[in-house]
Amino acid sequence: MLGFFKNKSKEIIIYSPCKGKVVPITEVPDPTFSEKILGDGFAVIPSDGKIYAPADGEITAVFDTLHAITMTTDKGTEILIHIGLDTVILKGEPFTAHISAGSQVKKGDLMIEADIEKIKAAGFNPITPILIGNTEKYNKITLIKEGEAEPGDEVLSLS
């Protein structure tokens, strides 16, 4: 090998963690997310409550209220999945976790189930931001799909 591509960064793909409508992170009706205070990414307006792993990696935290999880992918990408806005107030009621901190997951593994109807009935928006916590590690973060998506669809490109 001549080493021509030694320093060329490889593209990393983040997949949709749920079925629903993918929207840019800037469309989340909460400035903490839309202004990218916690990182860049995208959001899904879920049509069902099943949240799957968007990549292979390790679960680094599951919030006590089960409304959010963090993971680090096998490629070092730090991801926060936040199910709904202000859903921490629900104290875990509409959520069932299938993983815990330290769990190893493969893309597509079921991680959390959320009762979307209970979230809506309680007056909360179920929009689910998916954020890249270590955005500074990437030169370019590109939303490659908007609109209806299935779990496992390619949504975000990091390079």
- Annotation says 67 is catalytic: no
* Tokens representing residue 127 in the block: 């929009």
* Tokens representing residue 60 in the block: 């680094």
Candidate list 69, 82, 105, 111, residue with the active-site label: 82
32 three-state secondary structure: helix
Q: What burial letters (b/e) apply to 88-101, b meaning 16+ CB within 10 Å?
A: bebeeebbebebee
- The residue length of the chain stands at 159
Active site residues: 82
